[in-house]
């Protein structure tokens, strides 16, 4: 496995190591260049920028080799664009990483001069650049042992850039600001790893076993096996796993970080279908491999819990993960089967490919019975229909609580992990009434994401609840400056921000 990118902070006056990266704003003021370099060096850089038509726009860079008057082999001038906002700063750090990494050398020095910081402090600026660079440095290369070179011979996979030193006015303060971001990156990388892992390696039992590692971060880890799930009467969840050789699991992750003993638990629930063939209502072959990512919601909950614990968030939080594999076999559930969920409500399973909601029905019920939480947010790669509605830019948000929905929307805007609230209404709910049982697990051709959400809502008592349909955002995600990965780790930053901005201050 490649070592993770090392990030260090150093004063602006330190001698640079490796490739030197300077930032330039849209006005080409060369904020960082103004400091520390003599007139001759500045002149040479301006000349090079002019020759390359470099205007300091975001997502542009030029390389200057052996620049006159500077003691470096390679210098990169990277555009910041105009007044970079939070997400722009992350994207800028990610872009800078990619620019450096595409070239030779295993170390680089990025000069984060406050003149380029825009609206925030130099510490925040440096920490955000570092965070963006770190997120971009992720690679899932576990199974790529060798890689062909241009002449067809094989070579070891290159490690590329190993270390970035970020120069800023107050390195200690920047390092402190970076620590919580690093915790979030750890959580996102865990989520990405889990989603990218193929299903032959990561089944329900393996996923659950990996969660034991979280104990090292101070998380209480509990794994419920099939006997325990049986005793709890989680028949809807168990029904999904019946066709698989691999047993189902539920994982309970608890983080106790609240100062007050009375603090109510924040609850996060994730769909963890380690592979979704559709079951007897089997999916077509084309693209089915993507269904190794049908545990993206569960991966996000795991990553979020790791982030909260690592940065010692001042809240009590519980992550509940339902793990199954949806396979066709002689023991699989059939269309038309009726199961009695833990809540006592009966479900007619008309399509075994609508399995996520079955599993969530029981985990949501269990979450409320056991924890009486302040709120529940569930994440699930629940419907293909959410991709039709929103594509890959926004996750679908469904909620019974305007305040929680507004908090999520605000956290989405701040982090760039955006959510779009979808309607819920009685008329949609009626579509899942069944003639033979209390409800059926599909609602017909229309509004598939909404009827799925209504199905979940039938297992919510009066707890404030939000459901995020992440089928478009958790896997096969749009690559960008901070996400080079198929499994995006989407939702970790969003929910960490929801917690930080609304639930870590004293009782509200
Ligand atoms: N895991 C799928 C949803 C999905 C589709 C996630 C595409 C990511 C990409 C889910 O279990 C499913 O199969 N949903 C069905 C529901 C239908 C049978 C009512 C769907 O979306 O087709
Ligand atoms: Mn399915
Ligand atoms: Zn599924």
According to DSSP, the residues that pair with 109 across neighbouring strands are 20, 165
Which of the ligands is closest to the CA of residue 277?
A: 2
Atom of ligand 1 nearest to the CA of 294: 1
Helix (H, G, I), strand (E, B) or coil at 259: coil
The owner of tokens 């920490």 is 127
- Nearest ligand, CA 279: 2
Q: Does 277 have pLDDT greater than 80?
A: yes
Dihedral of CA 216/218/219/222: which sign?
positive
Q: From CA 235, how far away is CA 293, in angstroms rounded?
A: 24
Element (H, E) at 175: helix 171-196
Task: Name the least confident of 16-30, 130-144, 339-353, 392-406.
Answer: 16-30
pLDDT exceeds cutoff 80 at 37? no
Confidence (pLDDT) at 41? 81
Exactly one of 283, 370, 374, 392 is catalytic; which is it?
283
Q: Dihedral, CA atoms, 131, 134, 138, 142, nearest 10 degrees?
A: -130
Q: What is the rounded distance in angstroms from the CA atom of residue 106 to the CA atom of residue 91? A: 21
Helix (H, G, I), strand (E, B) or coil at 65: strand
Residue 65 buriedness (CB in 10 A; 0-12 / 13-18 / 19+): exposed
Instruction: Quote the ligand 1 centre to 382 CA distance (angstroms).
Output: 6
Inter-CA distances, 194 with 18, 273, 466, Å: 34, 12, 23
- How far does residue 238's CA lie from ligand 2's centre (Å)? 15
CA 189 → CA 162, 251, 296, 496, distances in Å? Answer: 17, 19, 12, 14
Mutate to test the pocket of ligand 1, among 384, 445, 486 (most ligand atoms within 8 A of CB): 384
- CA-CA distance, 441 to 351, in Å (whole number)? 7
Q: Residue 197 is encoded by which pair of tokens? A: 């892992």
How far apart, in whole angstroms, are the C-alpha atoms of residue 387 and residue 396? 9
Task: Please state which of the ranges 151-165, 207-221, 392-406, 462-476 shows the lowest mean pLDDT.
Answer: 151-165
In the chain, CATH 3.40.630.10 sits at 183-279+293-325+355-507
Backbone CA torsion sign across 331, 334, 339, 341: positive
> Helices (DSSP H) in 313-460: which residue ranges?
356-371, 385-390, 402-415, 426-429, 448-457
Q: How confident is the model at residue 2 (pLDDT cuts 50, 70, 90)?
A: low
Ligand closest to CA 381:
1
How far from the centroid of its chain's Cα atoms is residue 168's Cα?
28
Backbone angles phi, psi at 140, to 5 degrees: -100, 90
Residue 356 CA, closest ligand 1 atom number:
11
Catalytic residue among 182, 357, 440, 497: 357
Note if the pTM is more than 0.75: yes
Distance (Å, whole) CA 209 – CA 213: 8
Give the dihedral sign, CA 349/352/356/360: positive
Q: Is the pLDDT of residue 170 over 50?
A: yes
pLDDT at position 119: 85
Question: Is residue 155 very low, low, confident or very high in pLDDT (cuts 50, 70, 90)?
Answer: low
- What mean pLDDT do residues 140-152 have? 79
- Look at residue 10 in the predicted model and tell me its pLDDT: 97
| Residue 350: strand, helix, or coil | coil
CATH code reported for the domain at 183-279+293-325+355-507: 3.40.630.10
Give yes or no for a contact between 76 and 99, defined as CB atoms under 8 angstroms apart.
Answer: yes
| Dihedral of alpha carbons 178, 183, 188, 192, sign | positive
Atom of ligand 1 nearest to the CA of 283: 13
Is residue 32 scored above 60 in pLDDT? no
Write out residues with Cβ below 6 Å of ligand 1. Answer: 276, 294, 351, 353-356, 381, 383-385, 442, 448, 471
Where in 257-352 does DSSP place strands (E)?
Answer: 266-276, 316-326, 337-340, 346-349
Cα 377 to Cα 407: distance, rounded to the nearest angstrom: 12
What is the per-residue pLDDT across 45-82, written as a single tens digit (0 to 9) for each? 888 999 999 999 999 999 999 887 778 899 999 999 88
Ligand 3 center to 438 CA (angstroms): 22
Best residue among 274, 383, 456, 486 to mutate for probing ligand 1, ranked by most atoms within 8 Å of CB:
383
Confidence category of residue 34, pLDDT binned at 50, 70, 90: very low
Q: How far is the CA of 207 from the centre of ligand 3 (A)?
A: 16
Query: Does the structure show a pLDDT above 50 at 24?
Result: yes
Which atom of ligand 1 lies nearest, measured to the CA of 442?
19
Cα separation, 280 vs 333, whole angstroms? 7
Distance 354 CA to ligand 3 centre (A): 7
Does residue 283 have an active-site annotation?
A: yes
Choice from 324, 353, 446 to test ligand 1 binding pocket (greatest atom count within 8 A of CB) = 353
Cα-to-centroid distance, 353 and ligand 2 (Å): 4
User: What's the rounded mean pLDDT across residues 332-345?
Assistant: 99
Dist. CA 133–CA 149, nearest whole Å: 26
Could you tell me where in the chain the CATH 3.40.220.10 domains are found?
A: 6-169
SS3 string, 80-149, reads EECCCCHHHHHHHHHHHHHHHHCCCCCEEEEECCHHHCCCCCHHHHHHHHHHHHHHHCCCCCCCCCEEEC
Is 50 exceeded by the pLDDT of residue 508? Answer: no
Angle at CA of residue 276, ends 483 and 482, nearest 5°: 5
Ligand 1 atom showing the smallest separation from residue 441 Cα? 19
CB 242 within 8 A of CB 230: no
Mean pLDDT of 200-221: 98
In angstroms, the CA 358 to CA 272 distance is 12
Fold of the domain spanning 6-169: 3.40.220
170 among known catalytic residues: no
What is the predicted pLDDT for the residue at 46? 86
**274, pLDDT greater than 60:** yes
**pLDDT at res. 36:** 62
The DSSP annotation for 280-292 comes to TSPPPSTTGGGGG
**Residue with the nearest Cα to atom 13 of ligand 1?**
353
Q: What are the beta bridge partners of residue 323? A: 249, 272
Give tens-digit pLDDT for 446-496. 999 999 999 999 999 999 999 999 999 999 999 999 999 999 999 999 999
Higher pLDDT residue, 445 or 149?
Answer: 445
Q: Is the pLDDT of residue 111 over 90?
A: yes
Contact 82, 139 (CB under 8 A): no
CA of residue 283 to ligand 2 center, whole Å: 8
Instruction: Calculate Rg over the CA atoms of the chain.
Output: 25
Summary mean pLDDT of the chain: 94
């Amino acid at each position: 496995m490649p070592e993770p990118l090392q990030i260090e902070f150093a004063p602006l006056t330190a001698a640079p190591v490796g490739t030197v990266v300077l930032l330039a704003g849209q006005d080409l003021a060369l904020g960082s260049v103004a400091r520390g370099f003599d007139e001759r060096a500045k002149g040479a850089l301006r000349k090079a920028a002019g020759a390359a038509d470099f205007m300091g726009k975001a997502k542009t860079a030029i390389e200057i080799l052996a620049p006159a008057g500077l003691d470096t082999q390679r210098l990169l001038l990277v555009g910041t664009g105009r007044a970079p906002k939070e997400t722009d700063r992350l994207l800028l750090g990610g872009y800078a990483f990619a620019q450096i990494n595409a070239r030779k050398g295993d170390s680089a020095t990025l000069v984060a001069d406050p003149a380029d910081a825009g609206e925030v402090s130099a510490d925040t600026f440096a920490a955000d650049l570092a965070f963006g660079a770190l997120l971009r440095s992720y690679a899932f290369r576990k199974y790529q042992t060798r890689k062909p070179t241009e002449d067809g011979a094989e070579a070891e996979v290159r490690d590329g850039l190993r270390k970035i030193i970020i120069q800023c006015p107050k390195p200690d303060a920047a390092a402190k600001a970076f620590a919580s971001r690093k915790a979030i990156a750890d959580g996102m990388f865990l989520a990405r790893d889990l989603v990218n892992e193929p299903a032959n390696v990561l089944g329900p039992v393996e996923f659950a076993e990996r969660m034991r590692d979280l104990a090292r971060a101070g998380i209480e880890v509990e794994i419920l096996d099939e006997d325990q799930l049986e005793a709890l009467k989680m028949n809807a969840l168990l029904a999904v796993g019946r066709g698989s050789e691999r047993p189902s699991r539920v994982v309970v992750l608890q983080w106790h970080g609240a100062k007050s003993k009375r603090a109510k638990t924040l609850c996060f629930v994730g769909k963890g279908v380690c592979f979704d063939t559709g079951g007897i209502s089997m999916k077509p072959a084309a693209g089915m491999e993507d269904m190794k990512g049908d545990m993206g919601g569960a991966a996000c909950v795991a990553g979020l819990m790791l982030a909260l614990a690592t940065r010692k968030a001042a809240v009590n939080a519980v992550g509940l993960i339902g793990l199954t594999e949806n396979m066709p076999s002689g023991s699989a559930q059939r269309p038309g089967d009726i199961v009695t969920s833990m809540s006592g409500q009966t479900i007619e399973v008309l399509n075994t490919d609508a399995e996520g909601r079955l599993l969530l029905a029981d985990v949501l019920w269990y979450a409320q019975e056991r924890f009486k939480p302040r709120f529940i947010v569930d994440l699930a790669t629940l419907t293909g229909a959410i991709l039709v509605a929103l594509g890959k830019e926004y996750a679908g948000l469904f909620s019974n609580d305007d305040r929680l929905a507004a908090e999520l929307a605000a956290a989405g805007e701040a982090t760039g992990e955006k959510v779009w609230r979808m309607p819920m209404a009685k008329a949609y709910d009626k579509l899942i009434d069944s003639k033979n049982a209390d409800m059926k697990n599909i609602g017909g051709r229309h509004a598939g994401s909404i009827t799925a959400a209504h199905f979940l809502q039938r297992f919510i008592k009066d707890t404030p609840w939000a459901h995020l349909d992440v089928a478009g955002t958790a896997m096969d995600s749009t690559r960008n400056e901070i996400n080079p990965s198929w499994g995006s780790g989407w939702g970790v930053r969003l929910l960490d921000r929801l917690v930080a901005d609304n639930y870590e201050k004293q009782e509200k």
